[in-house]
Amino acid sequence: MTALALSSLSREELRRWLEGLGHPAYRADQIRRHLLRAGEVGFGSMSDLPLQLRTELEESAAWSTLAVLAATSADRGLTEKLLLRTGAGHELEAVMIAHPARDGSRGRRTVCVSSQAGCAIGCVFCATGRLGLRANLTAAEIVDQVLEAARRWDAQGLGRPTNVVLMGMGEPLQNYHQVVLAIRLLHEWGISGRQVVLSTSGLVPEIMQLAKEGLGVRLAISLHATEDQLRDRLVPINRRFPIASLLEAARKYAAASGRRVTLEYVLIRGVNDTPAAARSLGEMAATVRGHVNLIPMNPIPGSDLRAPSAAACREFASLVGPRATIRHSRGDRATAACGQLRASLAPEPRREARILARELALVDSPTGPPE
């Protein structure tokens, strides 16, 4: 019998499940409090629960769907990267990013979660893209990344997670139903739609569907190029959903959700960093009334692609205009930044070769025809 993942249940579902076993529904809240608490490792230590319930839980429920394989920290402990494994043996990463309270502002704690093990999109600058898709994560596996982070911050005397960004491994909109379910479940752990950012490479039909869910999540579009010819190569899904259709979807999402959309743009030296690209990025941001996050590319193993110099990044940003901010992904010193995780696992050689070939074509003739 597969164990029931507690993190797959809403509070009400857990109450009903417990009642079905003959226990009072209020035990649900007790159990849920334990799931967030430092040092908790399983049901056995939940000493405020009757022994019989603890035994039943041990027999039929899963404490967490994820095992922690490794944890590394950087930025004086403010960033922590977790290497995790699902029950089916797939590895994934999550990054915990703490922003301490400062100048009267309340501290924030953001968990960067994965939505898939690997990714099928194959963006040339992304370590995850080189792996191909290994597995879709379940909603419970997505929620458990946040609960694991909550326990670790609790152990450091910090508060609960305040924000979740779907910017780890995977394309969240290719795992649509589990991601939407996870966002609904996270709501009950105190994270509202407004505190969630979903980053996508641009699956237009799913963006439109998401707009109708009314979850209120903030959308980030991984644009990375302002011309289809280049974006076709950097972000291959562009061949199906070109830039104009993507920006139109972004506009509609912004209107439906009332949330400002962010355009993400990984800056790659000699590839997408021309003054013309900067100006047209500024115009695109204006048409969706969004903000631009410029992310100097983090180098990935086996790739010669690099970020422009710091001065060139600043120059690019000033040409984009007031809507642009340069963001250095936190955690890059923890051996993997949020958004380019999992370099630690061996890529599949054939896929690696294919993507490398595409990348070489890109550097040799940045303005040439798509392959």
Residues that bind ligand SAH (CB under 6 A): 119, 125-126, 167, 171, 199-201, 222, 264, 266, 295, 297-298, 300, 329, 339-340
Residue whose CB is less far from ligand SAH, 159 or 299: 299
Map tokens 């494994």 to a residue: 85
119 binds ligand SF4 (CB under 6 A): yes
Residues in the chain: 371
| Number of Cβ atoms within 10 Å of the Cβ of 362 | 22
Task: Say which amino acid occupies 86.
Answer: T
Please, what is the minimum distance in Å from the beta carbon of residue 296 to ligand SAH? Answer: 7
290 binds, among ligand SF4, ligand SAH, none (CB under 5 to 8 A by kind): none
Tokens of 357: 């070939």
Among the listed residues 112, 119, 313, 338, the single catalytic one is 338
Phi, psi of 199 (to 5 degrees): -105, 130
Stretch of 16-24, 77-85, 126-134, 271-279 contacting ligand SF4, by CB under 6 A:
126-134
Residue whose CB is less far from ligand SF4, 119 or 334: 119
Is 123 known to be catalytic? no
Binding mask 64-103 for ligand SF4 (x = CB under 6 A): ----------------------------------------
Is 112 known to be catalytic? no
Please, what is the minimum distance in Å from the beta carbon of residue 137 to ligand SAH? Answer: 13
Please, what is the minimum distance in Å from the beta carbon of residue 201 to ligand SF4? Answer: 4
Question: What number of chain residues touch ligand SF4 (CB under 6 A)?
Answer: 11
Tokens of 326: 């340069």
Please, what is the minimum distance in Å from the beta carbon of residue 332 to ligand SAH? Answer: 8
121 binds ligand SF4 (CB under 6 A): yes
How far from each other are the two terminal CA atoms of the chain, in whole angstroms? 49
171 binds ligand SF4 (CB under 6 A): yes
Stretch of 54-62, 120-128, 312-320, 343-351 contacting ligand SF4, by CB under 6 A:
120-128
CA pair distance 46, 42, nearest whole angstrom: 8
Please identify the residue of the shown chain whose CB is closest to the bound ligand SF4: 129
Tokens of 349: 């050689």
Tokens of 362: 């890109």
Closest CA to 135 of 169, 160, 99, 94: 169
Residue whose CB is less far from ligand SF4, 126 or 281: 126
Longest dimension (CA), the chain: 69
Q: Is 188 helix (H, G, I), strand (E, B) or coil?
A: coil
Tokens of 358: 């595409």
What's 138's DSSP letter? Answer: P
Beta strands in 105-151 (DSSP E): 108-112, 116-118, 133-136
Contact between 153 and 207 (Cβ < 8 Å)? no
Residue 118 pairs in a beta bridge with: 133
Please, what is the minimum distance in Å from the beta carbon of residue 173 to ligand SF4? Answer: 9
Task: Say which amino acid occupies 27.
Answer: R
62 binds ligand SF4 (CB under 6 A): no
Query: How are beta strands 79-86 and 66-74 bridged, if at all?
Result: antiparallel
298 binds, among ligand SF4, ligand SAH, none (CB under 5 to 8 A by kind): ligand SAH
Please, what is the minimum distance in Å from the beta carbon of residue 324 to ligand SF4? Answer: 20
Distances (CA, A) of 202 to 110, 142, 238: 23, 21, 7
Stretch of 119-127, 312-320, 323-331, 351-359 contacting ligand SF4, by CB under 6 A:
119-127
What's 105's DSSP letter? Answer: B
219 binds ligand SF4 (CB under 6 A): no
Which of 145, 201, 226, 329 lies at the binding interface for ligand SF4 (CB under 6 A)? 201
User: DSSP characters for 71-89?
Assistant: EEEEGGGTEEEEEEEETTS
170 binds ligand SF4 (CB under 6 A): yes
Please, what is the minimum distance in Å from the beta carbon of residue 326 to ligand SF4? Answer: 18
Tokens of 187: 């709501």
Among the listed residues 93, 148, 171, 264, the single catalytic one is 93
CA pair distance 73, 126, nearest whole angstrom: 21
Residues lying near ligand SF4 in the complex (CB under 6 A) are found at: 119, 121-123, 126, 128-129, 170-171, 201, 222
Task: List active site positions.
Answer: 93, 338
